[in-house]
């Protein structure tokens, strides 16, 4: 049975809206009930990091090394910058979050409209406050501060680009954070709701770097003032501890759409500008780690990974709609700049990547552009998340979709997806296995080496026709991947994809061998036999905190993926 339809686009159910109730008794009951609610509030709502023990790095963990810097004046940098610098000045009040400060950054980097940029910034005022936006607080100004901080450090010592009075306006008016008190809670939540990871990094990174500037070159009353000395006031120790926690536990908002791009931007500031070598090294290690994960979990700048935040992105069909792809495409294949020009909006994180000194290590770049060999990798994300699993090779990437872990965890699972070198950029145009039912019921972790299984029939893209079929199986021989055979089995609440990279026997013969090894289609609901020996056992109805794969060649697997190490697989470790 070949299924070509897509899963239904079903929205996440909205929380129930309680009706109004009156009466003194109800008020007293509510007041009593509020005591435990306040106690548990940080763990029931919000989107900030929840505490977990440090993860075991694993034997396949990469090793850190020295920084990788660009060559100043790279023409590919210039091309990205000029595209932004050519535009007019956006309305600061309505576009100050993203576009307006980026236009200023690009014009200063390009040496264009210098007087206009300075006058524009001198007229600007903060359009909101920092921290998360919610009904009691208009926030998100730290998005602006992250870009303004880069402007300060890139041009603040060059009065021909950034006037001294503009620098002073940045320090006294536009950059809000300073001092030694990090703000961990979302504003106006009485300290109960932890703010999100990207807000922490943007807000506190800007605070740290403003302090550093004031202490070193802030002028009378500020320069040398211990209140701005990050070492003396504790900010450096706090900032290093905060990044060390991320190194040990992994990025919390992993693969987030769109927030990962702002996490990257904040880390680029912390990799470039601090005087602390330790802090720069921690930021660089996190960036390198994220980019190595991208390299292993993508194929041709396409990926279908589970992500934490946001639910309204759950049904996206695009394999390239994330900001991490923007920056990785720039870092690894800048000659392809302009690829995003046909998409809505400008690639705003690509501009940040062009202006900042960080570049990916050569090995990460090489594996992003072309997988040199076959591999299988499991990336643990901790006890309150789901793992990433990839079976990759030069001509394919089989990507697990993860699992939903509860509404507070905010993880969005994706379909298990097979990407081939066919340049298709939509899930619906790829072989994929969605989960069963609504997406918040899914456990799409059923991926092993060259193998995937899920609780729905395989969706076969319309452009592919089987070269052989029978017994519930269909064998495809993609023209873009010569020598690769894709075997698909579909039944009610069951889908299997088995890959044969050396399927040179011909589709009919391979089909016969698969059917001979698996004569009972009902048995396929629990176990698959490879024609050349070996088998995989699985439970497609596994709970959402357990790996779908139960045994491999008779050996039990560790199904508790919450305890997996960060890195496990046959991948290189000398990459940073």
Q: Specify the range with the lowest mean pLDDT, choosing from 236-240, 340-344, 477-481.
A: 340-344
Which of the pair, 516 or 24, is modelled with greater confidence?
A: 516
Q: Do residues 545 and 562 lie in contact, with contact meaning Cβ atoms separated by under 8 Å? A: yes
Phi, psi of 492 (to 5 degrees): -60, 125
Provide mean pLDDT across the span 47-76: 76
Asked whether the predicted pLDDT for residue 9 surpasses 50, the reply is: no
Provide mean pLDDT across the span 276-292: 97
Provide mean pLDDT across the span 533-561: 98
Q: Do residues 527 and 500 lie in contact, with contact meaning Cβ atoms separated by under 8 Å? A: no
Provide mean pLDDT across the span 550-572: 98
pLDDT at 265: 98
Provide mean pLDDT across the span 240-258: 96
Residue 128 DSSP class: S
Q: Do residues 528 and 451 lie in contact, with contact meaning Cβ atoms separated by under 8 Å? A: yes
The answer to whether the predicted template modeling score (pTM) of the entire model surpasses 0.85 is yes
- 394 Cβ contact partners less than 8 Å away, ≥ 6 residues apart: 370, 371, 372, 373, 374
* Whole-number average pLDDT of the chain: 90
pLDDT at 16: 36
Work out the pLDDT band at 51, boundaries 50, 70, 90: confident
Q: Which tens digits make up the pLDDT trace of 406-445?
A: 988 899 999 999 999 999 999 999 999 999 999 999 999 9
Work out the pLDDT band at 4, boundaries 50, 70, 90: low
Q: Do residues 553 and 535 lie in contact, with contact meaning Cβ atoms separated by under 8 Å? A: yes
| E strand or H helix that includes residue 476 | strand 473-476
Distance, in Å, from the CA atom of 328 to the CA atom of 322, rounded to the nearest integer, reads 10
Asked whether the predicted pLDDT for residue 337 surpasses 80, the reply is: no
pLDDT at 338: 55
Provide mean pLDDT across the span 230-257: 97
Q: Which of 245, 251, 268, 242 is nearest to 68 (CA)?
A: 268
Burial of 312 (C-beta count, 10 Å sphere; 0-12/13-18/19+): exposed
Distance, in Å, from the CA atom of 469 to the CA atom of 429, rounded to the nearest integer, reads 20
Backbone conformation region of residue 298, classed left if phi is above 0, alpha if psi is from -120 to 50, else beta: beta
Which of the pair, 216 or 334, is modelled with greater confidence?
A: 216
Distance, in Å, from the CA atom of 101 to the CA atom of 119, rounded to the nearest integer, reads 13
Work out the pLDDT band at 34, boundaries 50, 70, 90: very low
Tally Cβ neighbours within 10 Å of residue 117.
24
Work out the pLDDT band at 38, boundaries 50, 70, 90: very low
Q: Do residues 87 and 103 lie in contact, with contact meaning Cβ atoms separated by under 8 Å? A: yes
pLDDT at 27: 40
Work out the pLDDT band at 325, boundaries 50, 70, 90: very high
Which of the pair, 505 or 119, is modelled with greater confidence?
A: 119
pLDDT at 444: 98
Asked whether the predicted pLDDT for residue 250 surpasses 90, the reply is: yes
Share of the chain above pLDDT 90, in %: 81
Strands lying side by side in the sheet with 388-393: 431-433, 416-419, 396-399, 388-393, 375-379, 568-569
């Amino acid at each position: 049975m070949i299924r070509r339809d897509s899963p239904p686009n079903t929205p996440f159910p909205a929380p129930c809206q309680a009706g109004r109730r009156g009466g003194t008794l109800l008020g007293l009951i509510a007041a009593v009930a509020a005591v435990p609610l306040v106690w548990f509030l940080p763990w029931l709502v919000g989107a900030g990091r929840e505490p977990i023990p440090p993860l075991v790095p694993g034997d396949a963990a990469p090793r850190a090394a020295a920084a990788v810097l660009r060559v100043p004046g790279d023409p590919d940098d210039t091309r990205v910058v000029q595209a932004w610098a050519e535009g007019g000045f956006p309305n600061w009040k309505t576009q100050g979050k993203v576009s307006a400060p980026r236009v200023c950054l690009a014009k200063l980097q390009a040496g264009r409209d210098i007087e206009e940029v300075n006058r524009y910034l001198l007229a600007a005022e903060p359009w909101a406050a920092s921290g998360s936006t919610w009904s009691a607080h208009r926030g998100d100004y730290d998005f602006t501060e992250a870009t303004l901080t880069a402007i300060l450090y890139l041009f603040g010592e060059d009065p021909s680009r950034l006037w001294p009075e503009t620098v002073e306006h940045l320090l006294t008016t536009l950059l809000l954070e300073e001092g030694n008190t990090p703000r961990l809670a979302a504003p106006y939540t009485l300290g109960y709701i932890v703010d999100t990871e990207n807000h922490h990094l943007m807000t506190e990174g800007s605070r740290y770097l403003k302090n550093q500037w004031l202490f070193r070159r802030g002028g009378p009353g500020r320069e040398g003032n211990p209140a701005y000395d990050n070492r003396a006031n504790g900010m450096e120790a706090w900032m290093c501890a905060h990044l060390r926690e991320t190194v040990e536990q992994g990025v919390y908002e992993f693969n987030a759409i769109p927030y990962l791009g702002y996490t990257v931007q904040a880390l680029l500031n912390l990799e470039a500008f601090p005087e602390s070598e330790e802090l720069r090294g921690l930021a660089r290690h996190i960036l390198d780690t994220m980019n190595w994960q991208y390299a292993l979990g993508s194929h041709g700048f396409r990926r279908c990974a589970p992500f934490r935040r946001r639910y309204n992105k759950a049904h996206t069909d695009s394999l390239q709609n994330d900001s991490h792809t923007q920056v990785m495409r720039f870092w690894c294949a800048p000659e392809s700049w302009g690829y995003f020009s046909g998409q809505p909006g400008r690639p705003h994180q690509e501009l940040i990547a062009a202006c900042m000194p960080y570049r990916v290590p050569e090995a990460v770049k090489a594996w992003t552009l072309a997988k040199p060999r076959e591999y299988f990798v499991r990336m643990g994300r901790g006890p309150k998340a789901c793992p990433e699993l990839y079976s990759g090779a030069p001509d394919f990437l089989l990507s697990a979709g993860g699992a939903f872990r509860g509404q507070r965890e905010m993880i969005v699972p994706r379909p298990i997806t097979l990407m081939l070198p066919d340049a298709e950029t939509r899930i619906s145009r790829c072989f994929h296995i969605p989960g069963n039912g609504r997406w918040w019921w899914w456990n799409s972790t059923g991926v092993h080496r060259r193998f995937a299984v899920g609780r729905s029939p395989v969706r076969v893209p319309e452009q592919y026709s089987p070269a052989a079929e029978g017994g519930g199986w269909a064998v495809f021989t993609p023209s873009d991947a010569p020598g690769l055979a894709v075997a698909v089995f579909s039944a009610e609440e069951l889908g299997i994809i088995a890959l044969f990279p050396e399927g040179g026997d011909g589709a009919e013969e391979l089909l016969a061998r698969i059917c001979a090894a698996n004569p009972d289609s009902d048995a396929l609901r629990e176990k698959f036999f490879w024609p050349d020996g070996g088998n995989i056992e699985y439970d497609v109805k596994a709970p959402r905190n357990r790996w779908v794969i139960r045994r491999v060649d008779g050996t039990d697997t560790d199904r508790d993926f919450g305890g997996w190490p960060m890195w496990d697989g046959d991948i290189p470790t000398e990459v940073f």
